[in-house]
Structure 1
Amino acid sequence: MVVNGINVTISGINDMSEQEVVAYIDMLQDENQDELSQLTISPAENGEVNLDYVLQPARFERIRRITGYLVGTIDRWNNAKRAEEHDRVKHGLN
């Protein structure tokens, strides 16, 4: 089943409500910085449950070293620094 855009699999538990599933999702998202992708709920000992989950891959921005600076993009550079980057010699891998 899909709950709040997350693929949820419940195995071995027949009487779990959607409210319980949403509560588990909320708890896991509060504990983790990233969004959940998948959640598997199964029974554990002593009446508890096992929560096996997969987080969505972290988004990242490409970082390059350009003219001595670590940057993702040059959109915040002034005209002089952009000209310096444009005029530099770029070496190929031949």
Structure 2
Amino acid sequence: MVVNGIDVTVNGLNDVSEQEIVNYIDYVQTQTKEKVNSLKLSATKDGQVDIRYELQPQKFERIRRITGYLVGTIDRWNDAKRAEEHDRVKHGLH
């Protein structure tokens, strides 16, 4: 089932309302401070609820050390620094 745009699987819990599922989603997002991609609720042997979840992938920017600087991109470099990067010896390339 899909609740608030999130794929939800419920196993062994026959009486779980949609509001309870929304509360579980809110709980996970509050604890992790990230957006939930999918949620799986299962009953344990002792009557508890097992919550398993997948968070949405985070975007990240590749950071490299170029000519002594940690950079993501070189689009803001001046001409001299761009020339230094162009002329450097690149190791490990075949």
TM-score by length of 2: 0.78
Which residues of 2 match residues 28-43 of structure 1 at below 5 A?
Answer: 28-43=28-43
Q: Give me the whole-angstrom Cα distance separating, in 1, the residues matched to 2:31 and 2:22.
A: 14
2:5 aligns with 5
Amino acid aligned to 1:75? D
RMSD: 2.1
1:72 aligns with 2:48: no
* CA deviation profile, 1:29-57 (whole Å, cap 9, x unmatched): 111133222211122324x3111112233
Is the 8 Å Cα contact of residues 43 and 50 (structure 1) preserved in structure 2?
yes
Identity of aligned residues (%): 65
* CA shift for structure 1 position 91: 5.0
Is the 8 Å Cα contact of residues 34 and 58 (structure 1) preserved in structure 2?
no
Moved over 4 A (4+): none
Where does structure 1 lack aligned partners over 5 or more consecutive residues? none
TM-score by length of 1: 0.78
Where does structure 2 lack aligned partners over 5 or more consecutive residues? none
* CA shift for structure 1 position 27: 0.7
2:20 aligns with 20
